[in-house]
Chain A
């Protein structure tokens, strides 16, 4: 699942549409309690920089329309690795790859309250 990605290429590609031809992989499901905990984490703690409404703050917006040019795996990569030199930290010490993918998928489809 993990790609070798150039983070800057990804972020700059958000400005221009890209064609994704691969079929979407099945959505990740986690245990309910963990999904609740991650929902809280994203809203409250990612929300420190991205806003609790995910409309942005120091960090950019994380609404479905903001992420439309990135696939879920790319978003998950950014979550896990951070963005070097910028305030977006790597969360890989706290989140598994599966959890990061779950968050990415939910962000892209409309994050739960």
Chain B
């Protein structure tokens, strides 16, 4: 890798200086990481660390470059977050000390990342140069470079990068219309399995919490793609084909996002592209199990951890609204307007509260998911993604 900037020396020194001065007993009060969250501040290159028990912001970490699209994964011990920024920045953050401990610029333009099941490899899906790069989780040293080559030596943008059991990563090639599995179980040189011609312009993907089903959404045609990773010979199969019923798509102002939390009570609730609908997919048969008309074009459909509800937010210009779906009845049971530009929905691990980012109100809002009452409002600068540490223990997140 040619362009990397290490800030390790000065950052690590600052961190340890803050922690223990010579001649003094360490007076830091011990705390856990399990109830912490990281919040992206998309316009200021900063992230917040929030305490979801105290409902407080405990740190702001600055200097993370272009976070106008950013996501994060966690180390197995929840101590560190790996933040993937749009400009190709990969920053390792100490969640307890509230500092960046390592940072590299690993590509020109990136969209997401993942961490392997053993916590040793961090992968980034890049738009430029198209492909996936893999790094050592401890040091951020380069481990592997997987150019997403297709056609006549072109490199495809990659999306939908997830971890899968057995030290694997799975990702989708947007330009090429392919899905690849990179298997690192033998070491640091991956074995690649390619599924070709899976569909037109796949824009994102999810893997289920059991690591079994990989589902990619298509932009260029009505339908999604499903791979059952437990099959003897896994195949990419079309599901929900023709869900658009021949009707013209509405203008799509923002791509939906797929996450493993789309699965609730035996059904996947998936955004329809260019329609004001959620599509219900039966998780056994992989056939349509209904559809729900909703307020706008869904961006995120996120299940409360018990699977009883799915909360949905929407694309511009209808992005001031959240709807709550009761999964057993597939009906809307609550609707409210947190404010302008609700970007992300993140549940506490047992589901009793949910955190929302309201970008254009510069607020984080916390709601009780049973009473729907707002329990806290916190200031944040143009907040977007919210990532709780419990993600450390979930396949695909």
Give the interface of A toward B (CB within 8 A): 40, 43-45, 47-49, 51-53, 55-58, 82, 85-87, 89-91, 93-94
Would A52 and B43 count as touching, CB distance under 8 A? yes
Min CB distance B184 to A, Å, is 27
Q: How far is it, in angstroms, between the C-alpha of A86 and the C-alpha of B251 when the chains are bound?
A: 11
Residues in B with CB closer than 8 Å to A40 are 360
B66 touches A53 (CB 8 A): yes
Contact A48 B157 (CB under 8 A): no
Residues of B within 8 A of A90 (CB): 251
- A to B CB contacts below 8 Å, 23 in the list: A43-B43, A44-B341, A48-B316, A51-B69, A52-B42, A53-B66, A55-B66, A55-B87, A56-B109, A56-B127, A56-B128, A57-B109, A58-B127, A58-B157, A58-B174, A58-B255, A85-B220, A87-B203, A87-B219, A87-B252, A90-B251, A91-B251, A94-B317
Establish whether residues B109 and A55, one from each chain, have CB atoms under 8 Å apart when the complex forms.
yes
| Cβ-Cβ contact count across A and B, 8 Å cutoff | 63
Residues from chain B with a CB closer than 8 A to the CB of A55 are 66, 87, 109
**Which B residues have a C-beta under 8 Å from some C-beta of A?**
42-43, 66, 68-69, 86-87, 109, 111, 127-128, 157, 174, 201, 203, 219-220, 251-255, 316-317, 341, 359-360, 382
CA distance A40 to B42 in the complex (A): 13
Q: Which residues on the B side are within 8 Å of A47 (C-beta)? A: 68
Q: Out of B219, B220, B251, B253, which one reaches A48, CB within 8 Å? A: B253
Q: How far is the CA of A58 from the CA of B304 in the complex (A)?
A: 29
Q: What are the 7 tightest A-B residue pairs by CB atom distance, in nearest-first order?
A: A52-B68, A89-B251, A48-B254, A45-B316, A90-B251, A89-B252, A47-B68
Nearest-neighbour CB distance to chain B for A37, whole angstroms, equals 11
A55 to B157, CA, bound (A): 15
Residues of B within 8 A of A53 (CB): 66, 68, 87
Residues of B within 8 A of A52 (CB): 42-43, 66, 68, 86
A49 touches B43 (CB 8 A): no
Contacts of A89 in B (CB 8 A): 251-253
Q: Which residues of B contact A44 (CB under 8 A)?
A: 43, 341, 359-360, 382
- B-chain residues with CB within 8 Å of residue A56 when the two chains form the complex: 109, 127-128
- List residues of chain A with CB within 8 A of the CB of B255: 48-49, 58, 87
Q: For A91, list chain B residues within 8 Å (CB).
A: 251
* Cα(A87)–Cα(B249), bound, Å: 11
Min CB distance A30 to B, Å, is 18
Residues of B within 8 A of A85 (CB): 220
Q: Which residue of B lies closest to A90 (CB)?
A: B251
| 13 additional contacts (CB under 8 A) given A53-B68, A87-B252 | A43-B43, A45-B254, A48-B253, A48-B316, A49-B255, A51-B66, A52-B86, A55-B109, A82-B251, A87-B201, A89-B252, A91-B251, A93-B251
Name, among B68, B203, B382, the residue most crowded by chain A CB atoms within 10 Å (CB to CB).
B68
Nearest CB of B to A63, in Å = 13
Is the Cβ of A57 less than 8 Å from the Cβ of B127?
yes
User: A53: nearest residue on chain B (CB-CB)?
Assistant: B66
Contact B111 A57 (CB under 8 A): yes
Chain A residues with Cβ below 8 Å from B360 are: 40, 44
Bound Cα distance from A104 to B35, whole angstroms: 46
- Report Cα–Cα, A57/B86, bound state, in Å: 8
**In the complex, chain A residues whose CB is within 8 Å of the CB of B127:** 56-58
CA of A4 to CA of B382 in the docked complex: distance in angstroms? 39
Q: How far is the CA of A90 from the CA of B382 in the complex (A)?
A: 26
Among residues of A, the one whose C-beta sits closest to the C-beta of B382 is A44
Assembled-state Cα–Cα distance A53/B66 (Å): 8
